[in-house]
Amino acid sequence: MKFGGTSVGDVAAFERVFRIVSEQIDKRPVVVTSAMTKVTDALLSAFDLARKNEPEQGFESLQPHFERHVEVAEHYLGEDAKQKFYKELERAKSDLSEVLERVSRRSLPVQLLKDVVVAYGELLSSRLLTEVLRSKGINARHADARRLIMTDDEHGAANPVWDETEKIIQLELNPVLKNDEVPVMGGFIAASRSGETTTLGRGGSDYSAALIAAALRAGELQIWTDVTGVMTCDPRIAPAAYTIPVLSYEEAAELAYFGAKVLHPKTIQPAVDFSIPVRVCNSWKPEEIGTMVLAESGEAPSKIKSIASKKGITILRITSARMLGSYGFMSALFQVFERHRAVIDVISTSEVSLALTLDNVNSLDQIVNDLKRLGAVEVEHGNAVVCVVGEGLRTTSGLAAKLFSTISDVNIPLISHGASSVNVTFVVKEEVVGEVIKRLHDAFFTENIAKDAQT
């Protein structure tokens, strides 16, 4: 059972978590928690201040967040538990103040220190949640995620080393579960082979929970968040969005990858590997069923299931007559991206040109320089990808026509009908993406609300 930041945001939220866990205590759950909401952002800002040579200000900016932990502790914990937690909190504070100081002195590689700083969000929330659950009668036991999930040393977006991680999780957690205890651990954080703290990328607690579920061959992976399941689109963009009862792994993976923040993109794979059903549910409304993600989902009456989007996308266009009838060109081109460790999202090719999108422009200048050896390169910033997903796209003709005619006045520089055939992905300018999603949502879903809800 994974609880996101808003599900452990304040005093009342901890009560909801307690209820949800205690109702399913017979299923022998493992609890994975994110940092309290806004804490990860606050830690990252403190880190940035420290880098700008203002470590004290960075540390001070965290005080209100420490205070939020204290409020929860004061509300739920008895004297002993409170003292135990405050000792942890004091240690965290003094470590953080020292690490921020080191950040300003740049004494270790900066990415490594960043992970050390940001990990305190989950370290504290998981300690606090353990004590709260214990104080309310659940036999909870804290488990340190850095001892359970082993990764490479790609700080900020580390990759788990599966075989070892699987073994350690089984070895550490199975005896705890057998003993009728409930392990409680922080998501998002892990450690490299050499024992340095690493993190799995923003929103990575979902992924931590999926790894745990896979290693223990859990009956179900539950992602508890602040909306009822995966919806037809981000409810913040189109308030008419509604919950999708069932999604396939493939559909969920495409949606997560192309911006549906409700699931971290890497969450699905471990579940797929061991056929573990994933349920996405609302910790504010636990009685609502939410979304089940399963191997197969079937079609919805609306044919498409959901629309996701991701901003901050850059398009690169490479044009070269050398592409014409030659081999080896693509390989040379992709090597450039491999060399700069840049991830490509969407690709579309013609005989003499190729367009692709990147959502991370860290090494853009070097990439463009290298690509210029292969052909003419154009760069276009400020785009968004829109991804329309549904098993119905495999089988129903005319959907693409309906889709593009709904937004026929919008310029679309790039289209890709995904190789998975459950998605159509295209690019629009960032300024219009909200409007595009609203219009598509109206066209595909509004008239099907009643029918979809029944399936």
| Residues in contact with Mg ion by the rule CB under 5 A | 4, 203
Residue among 46, 70, 47 nearest 60 (CA): 46
Of 59 and 224, which has the nearer Cβ to ligand ASP? Answer: 224
Residue among 431, 423, 368 nearest 394 (CA): 423
Rounded CA gap, 288 and 283, in Å?
A: 9
**Smallest distance, Å, CB 204 to Mg ion?**
8
**Smallest distance, Å, CB 203 to Mg ion?**
4
Q: Which does 260 bind (CB under 5 to 8 A by kind): Mg ion, ligand ASP, ligand ADP, none?
A: ligand ADP
**Smallest distance, Å, CB 225 to ligand ADP?**
3
Rounded CA gap, 265 and 270, in Å?
A: 11
Q: Which does 9 bind (CB under 5 to 8 A by kind): ligand ASP, ligand ADP, Mg ion, none?
A: none
Of 203 and 392, which has the nearer Cβ to ligand ASP? Answer: 203
Q: How many CB atoms lie within 10 A of CB 55?
A: 23
- Please name the residue ranges forming H helices in 106-245: 110-118, 120-135, 145-148, 162-178, 205-215
Contacts with ligand ADP by CB under 6 A lie at 4-7, 34, 203, 225-227, 230-231, 233-236, 260-262, 306, 308
Residue of 51, 75, 93, 202 that binds ligand ASP (CB under 6 A): 202
Residues with Cβ < 8 Å from 143, sequence gap 6 or more? 172, 173, 176, 183, 184, 185
> Which of the stretches 77-85, 201-209, 306-314, 414-422 binds ligand ASP when contact is defined by CB under 6 A?
201-209
Q: For the chain, how many residues are written?
A: 455
**Smallest distance, Å, CB 62 to ligand ADP?**
19
160 binds ligand ASP (CB under 6 A): no
Q: Which does 304 bind (CB under 5 to 8 A by kind): ligand ASP, Mg ion, ligand ADP, none?
A: none
**Smallest distance, Å, CB 145 to Mg ion?**
16
**Interface positions, 168-187, toward ligand ASP (CB under 6 A):** 187
Residue among 270, 271, 272, 267 nearest 257 (CA): 267
Q: In this structure, what is the dihedral angle of CA atoms 260, 262, 265, 271, given to the nearest 10 degrees? A: -130
Q: What angle do CA 269, 25, 38 make, to 5 degrees?
A: 60
Q: How many CB atoms lie within 10 A of CB 111?
A: 15
Q: Which does 40 bind (CB under 5 to 8 A by kind): ligand ADP, Mg ion, ligand ASP, none?
A: ligand ASP
**Interface positions, 33-72, toward ligand ASP (CB under 6 A):** 34-35, 40
Chain positions contacting ligand ASP, by CB under 6 A: 4-5, 34-35, 40, 121, 187-188, 202-205
